[in-house]
Amino acid sequence: MKKILGFTCIVLFLSSLALSCGTSGGSTTVKAGTYSATARGMHGPLSVEVNLSTNAITSVKVTSHRETPGLGDWPVILMPEKIVQNNSLAVDAVNGATITSFAILAAVEDCLNQAGANIAAFNKPPRVTRARNETITADVIIVGGGGAGFAAAVSAVNAGASVFMVEKAGFVGGNSVVSGGIYNSADPVFQDYAYQKERSPSLETIVTDALNERPVNEEHRSLIDAVRREYEAYLRTDKTLFDSPNWHALQTWNGGDKVANLSIIKLMTSLAPEGFEWVKSLGAEFLPLVYLGAGSLYPRTHSAHVPNGTPYIAAFSNYLEKNSSKFKCVVDTAATGLIMENGKVVGVNAEGKDGQKLTLRANKGVVLATGGFAGNVELRQEYCQGEKWPDLGPALPTTNLKNVTGDGIFFARDAGAQLIDMEQIQLLPYCNPTTGGTYDVHGISLTAIFVNKQGCRFVREDGRRDDMSKAIIDQTDSVMYMVLGSEYIPDPDKIYTNGGQSITYMIESNSSGYVTAPTIEELAAKINVPPAVLRKTVDDFNTALESGRADEFGRRAFGLPIKQAPFYAYPRAAATHHTMGGVRFDEYTRALKADGTPVPGLYCAGEITGGIHGGNRLGGNAIVDFTVFGRIAGISAAAGR
C-alpha cells in the first residue's frame, strides 16, 4: 500500500492484476552511485534522486516538486516504481498526468547521463505478457473514480455491498482533484456571527430581491414563502448573516435560470449540511469559516485545509482502505458499454489499455459517475455552441482533465435513459489564459477587482460565472487582470494559490503572469495598462466601498479596499468548466427514461446528470452535488432499489 496525500492508495493496476512485466535488462555499464537532477514539471522545477548500480536503476525518488496536489502526486509515486521495476525509461506515462510523468523521466535520464550510461540501453521497452480476459462479479459496479464514484463506493460498502470500481485514467480522483474543492452549505455554527460583525444591507438586498420576484409556478411560490418566513424570523434575532437550505435552493434555482428540477435542487440543499458532516466524519478537515466563494452568489462556502478537491478523495479512500475486503478498483481501464439483459442493466464491459477485456457483473446495480464533457470539443460544439456561446471550439481552453469526455452519458442514453439540459455549459472566468487551469488563481479571488487591458473594470466580480465569462470574452484579447492589494496577502510566502503555490513563488518563477509593485502606477506599467486609468479605477472602487455607495457594476459582496502595498496583478481568461446537462434521474439517483420510469439497475451521480444546475451552476455546488447524490447512489445501488 502506498500513501498519497496522506491517504492509502488502494487502487489495483492491471499490471499487478493480470500483466506480467519483465525488465529491459539492457547491457550497459554505468558509474554506480547516487545522482540528482531537476527538470521542468507542470508548475515548476521537479527534482529527483537516483541510485544506480553498475548496470541497473536501483531506486528513484522525487525529492521536491510543485505539481498540483492530488493530480501531481500520482506520477510522483507511480513513475519511480515503473522505472525501477523495468530498469527502463521506456515506460508509459501516468494516463492523465503526462507532463509530470515526462518531467520525472527527463530528470532520471539526466542522472543516467551523469553516470555515463548508454541511454539507448535504458530505452528498451518492458517485456509484457498479454493479460487474460476476466469476468469479475460484485454487488455494485461503479464506473468513474472521481468524487461521485468514491462517495457512492463509501456508502455502498457501508451498506454491506461489495464494490468494484473501474477508472479510465491512470489514477483516481477525476476532475474532483483539480476542482476548487469548495462546498456550499447553510451552516448555523459559523454563519450566524462569524462571517461578519454586522449585517450587510447590500447582501440582504440579494435576499429581498429574490423574495420580491413573481413566482413562475406553485413550487416556486411555495419556496419563496418558506424563505420569507425564515428571513423574517432571522430579522427578529441579532444574527448577522441569513441562510438556510431553502434559501440555498432558491438561489440555486434562480441562478440556473429556473430551468432545473426544483425538487431535486431542494433535496440537494436540504442534505448539504448532512453531507458536509458526513465527509468531516470520514476525516476531511475544513477551515472554521464561511465565505463567498467565486461564483457562489452568497457567503455559504466552506474550504478545506488542503488545496483543491483532494480532501474529499482522501477521506473516501481512507474509509475504503479500511474496508478493502469489500472494495477493489482498477485504473487505466475504460468502460466500453453497459451489459443489458431483459431490459435491465446487469454489468459493464471494460478494456485495459493493454487490451485486457473485463466483464464486470453487478449483482445489485451499476453506478455511472463518469463526469461531464466540457473538455470534449466535438460534443460541446454539437450541444452547446450557439447564441449563448458562439464559439466553443479548440481555441477555448478547459479546466477539465483530458480523460473526462462524457462517455457514460451516452452509455446511459443507449440503455434507454433520457438526456436533459445538454445545451447548458458553464465557462469559468478565473482561468489561466494558456492552460485553462485554476491551480494558479489566488485562493480568495473575490478580494480582487477585474480590469481589462484598458485598465477599467467591466463587470461585477461577485456575479454569475456565465455573465463574468461572457464579459471577459468581450474584452480585448478576451483577457482580464485580477488586481488586489496586500490586505489579503499579509505574507506572500505563506499565502497559497489553489494549487498550493506561494505568491512569492509565482512571481519569482515568472509563472502565470503574476507581477507585483509598490504602487498602482508601477503595477499598471508591468501589465501594460494606462497607469492613470488604473489609478482612477482603484480609487473609484475604494471610494464606493468605503462610502457605502452603490457599486457601478452592481457588486454587492465586498471585502477590504485595495490600499495596502505591495499590489498584485495576474491575467485570467474564461475556459469551459462544467456541463449542466446529462442523464435525467430521480431522488434515488435512478436513471430515468423519457416516460419517467427508471432504467432498471442503473444509477447516476455527479456531473453525468442533468436537472440540478440549470443554465448556470453556482460555484461550490458541484462538490455538494457529488457528495449528496453520490452517497444516495451507493445506498440505492446496494439495495437494488
* Percent of the chain at pLDDT exceeding 90: 69
- Residue 22 pLDDT exceeds 80: no
Instruction: Decide if 1 is inside a domain.
Output: no
Query: What is the average pLDDT across 225-240?
Result: 97
Let me know whether 40 and 125 are in one domain.
Answer: yes
- Nearest-CA neighbor of 421 among 586, 589, 607, 605? 607
- Residue 210 pLDDT exceeds 70: yes
Let me know whether 456 and 535 are in one domain.
Answer: yes
Q: What's the domain range around 551? A: 430-576
* Structure confidence at residue 128 (pLDDT): 66
Query: What is the average pLDDT across 20-48?
Result: 76
Strand partners, 46: 39
Of 114, 129, 144, which residue is a domain's last? 129
Query: What is the average pLDDT across 405-414?
Result: 95
Let me know whether 189 and 289 are in one domain.
Answer: yes
- Nearest-CA neighbor of 638 among 284, 338, 327, 370? 327
Query: What is the average pLDDT across 554-558?
Result: 84
Instruction: Decide if 366 is inside a domain.
Output: no
Q: Are 141 and 362 in contact (CB under 8 A)?
A: yes
Let me know whether 562 and 450 are in one domain.
Answer: yes
Instruction: Decide if 639 is inside a domain.
Output: no
Instruction: Decide if 52 is inside a domain.
Output: yes
C-alpha–C-alpha distance, residues 496 and 498, integer Å = 7
* Structure confidence at residue 63 (pLDDT): 94
The CATH number of whichever domain residue 493 belongs to comes to: 3.90.700.10
Of 559, 576, 593, which residue is a domain's last? 576
Let me know whether 204 and 86 are in one domain.
Answer: no
DSSP labels for 442-496?
Answer: BSSGGGSEEE-TTS---S-TTS-HHHHHHHHHTSGGG-EEEEE-GGG-S-TTT-B
Let me know whether 187 and 296 are in one domain.
Answer: yes
Q: What is the pLDDT of residues 443-490, one digit of tens each?
A: 665 678 999 999 999 999 988 889 999 999 999 999 999 999 999 888
Instruction: Decide if 37 is inside a domain.
Output: yes
Query: What is the average pLDDT across 309-321?
Result: 91
- Residue 21 pLDDT exceeds 50: no
* Structure confidence at residue 443 (pLDDT): 65
Let me know whether 440 and 564 are in one domain.
Answer: yes
Let me know whether 27 and 114 are in one domain.
Answer: yes
Q: What is the pLDDT of residues 256-272, one digit of tens each?
A: 999 999 999 999 999 99
Beta-carbon contacts of 539 under 8 Å, excluding residues fewer than 6 positions away, are: none
Widest Cα–Cα separation across the chain: 82
Q: Are 360 and 166 in contact (CB under 8 A)?
A: yes
Beta-carbon contacts of 566 under 8 Å, excluding residues fewer than 6 positions away, are: 485, 486, 516, 517, 518
Q: Are 79 and 99 in contact (CB under 8 A)?
A: no
465 belongs to the catalytic site: yes
Q: What is the pLDDT of residues 322-334, one digit of tens each?
A: 999 999 999 999 9
Let me know whether 562 and 434 are in one domain.
Answer: yes
Instruction: Decide if 79 is inside a domain.
Output: yes
Return the higher-pLDDT residue of 178 and 414: 414
At position 342, the amino acid (one-letter code) is N
* Mean pLDDT, the chain, whole residue set: 90
Count of C-beta atoms within a 10 Å radius of residue 172: 25
| pLDDT band, very low/low/confident/very high, at 19 (cuts 50, 70, 90) | very low
* Structure confidence at residue 445 (pLDDT): 57
C-alpha–C-alpha distance, residues 2 and 13, integer Å = 13
Q: End-to-end alpha-carbon separation of the chain, Å?
A: 34
* Structure confidence at residue 80 (pLDDT): 95
The total number of structural domains in the chain stands at 3
Instruction: Decide if 323 is inside a domain.
Output: no
* Structure confidence at residue 28 (pLDDT): 63
pTM beyond 0.75: yes
Query: What is the average pLDDT across 515-533?
Result: 97
Q: What is the pLDDT of residues 84-136, one digit of tens each?
A: 999 999 988 887 788 899 999 999 999 999 999 999 989 988 776 666 899 99
Residues 465, 556, 584, 617: which is the catalytic one?
465
Instruction: Decide if 339 is inside a domain.
Output: no
Q: Are 383 and 422 in contact (CB under 8 A)?
A: yes
| pLDDT band, very low/low/confident/very high, at 13 (cuts 50, 70, 90) | very low
Let me know whether 110 and 195 are in one domain.
Answer: no
The three cell numbers of residue 233 are 424570523
Q: 64-78, 509-523, 598-612: which has the highest mean pLDDT? A: 598-612
Residue 42 DSSP one-character state: S
Strand partners, 339: 347
* Structure confidence at residue 25 (pLDDT): 43
Of 251, 283, 302, which residue is a domain's last? 302
Let me know whether 116 and 197 are in one domain.
Answer: no
| pLDDT band, very low/low/confident/very high, at 9 (cuts 50, 70, 90) | very low
* Structure confidence at residue 416 (pLDDT): 97
The CATH number of whichever domain residue 114 belongs to comes to: 3.90.1010.20
Q: What is the pLDDT of residues 586-624, one digit of tens each?
A: 999 999 999 999 999 999 999 999 999 999 999 999 999
**Cα within 13 Å of Cα(474), Cβ side:** 11
Let me know whether 544 and 440 are in one domain.
Answer: yes
